[in-house]
């Protein structure tokens, strides 16, 4: 099995020990294999909407001798997957809107979420739908930064608009990466802002300006 990159290692570290681990959109199944091999879970459920992707995960588990502890499910999100309070799930590598749609039907256990785009939207969704953002980690992997969130259902707290963009520093487990991440994020926001100024969507321009300002303010605090 290929060595896990920084993104999936961050997911593993945020997940911690659990009874059953469900990897939603598992692709090759590397994270589930690592959770089992590390003794962080007793059993794994590997799920993907694509049966082809699930075949890749099945090969990974076969190569690692983990087939007897793994259940494979072709499913859309969490449909047909039974989890309880002592379990955990990972939903990584999707857009924020897709992750939010998966969570709309509820989740009975902790989860680690990693959106590829629209992170502020996901934070707002979590606050509005009573998911507590318990912890975050930043990962730098293959030339870009990722932010991963550990959430708990049934709890919530208020976030300002700026906090939805940048997160809460006290929740971050590896604050030493925050400055580099914010510098990278500011550059991304500047590109988005230039594009929004060329368009005719006033709402999009307002959001782009607000995100740029929030990231710039957070970066100034770091410096």
Looking at residue 2, its pLDDT comes to 57
pLDDT tens per residue, range 139-195 = 999 999 999 999 999 988 899 999 999 999 999 999 999 999 999 999 999 999 998
pLDDT, averaged across the chain: 94
Its CATH architecture, for the domain 180-222, is: Orthogonal Bundle (1.10)
30-89 pLDDT tens trace: 999 999 999 999 999 999 998 888 999 999 999 999 999 999 999 889 988 999 999 999
The model's pLDDT over 72-113, given as tens digits with 9 standing for 90+, comes to 999 889 988 999 999 999 999 999 999 999 999 889 999 999
Structural fold of domain 6-159: Rossmann fold (3.40.50)
- The DSSP line for 68-119 is GGEEEEE-STTTT----TT-EEEEEEE-HHHHHHHHTT--SSEEEEEESS-H
Eight-class DSSP state of 19: S
Domain ranges in the chain are 6-159, 180-222
What's the whole-model pTM score? Answer: 0.94
């Amino acid at each position: 099995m290929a060595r896990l990159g920084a993104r999936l290692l961050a997911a593993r570290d945020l997940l911690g020990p659990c009874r059953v681990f469900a990897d939603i959109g598992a692709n090759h199944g590397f994270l589930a294999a690592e959770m089992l091999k590390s003794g962080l879970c007793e059993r794994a459920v590997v799920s993907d909407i694509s049966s082809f992707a699930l075949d890749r995960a099945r090969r990974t588990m076969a190569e690692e001798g983990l087939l007897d502890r793994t259940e494979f499910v072709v499913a859309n999100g969490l449909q047909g997957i039974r989890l309880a309070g002592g379990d955990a799930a990972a939903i990584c590598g999707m857009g924020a809107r897709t992750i939010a749609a998966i969570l709309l039907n509820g989740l009975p256990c902790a989860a680690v979420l990693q959106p590829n785009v629209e992170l502020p939207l996901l934070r707002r969704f979590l606050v509005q739908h009573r998911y507590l953002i318990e912890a975050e980690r930043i990962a730098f992997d293959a030339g870009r930064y990722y932010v991963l969130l550990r959430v708990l259902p049934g709890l919530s707290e208020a976030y300002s608009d700026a906090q939805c963009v940048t997160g809460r520093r006290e929740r971050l487990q590896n604050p030493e990466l925050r400055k580099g991440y914010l510098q990278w994020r500011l550059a991304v926001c500047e590109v988005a802002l230039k594009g929004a100024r060329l368009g005719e969507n006033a709402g999009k321009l307002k959001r782009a300006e607000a995100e740029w300002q929030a990231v710039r303010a957070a970066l100034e605090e770091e410096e």
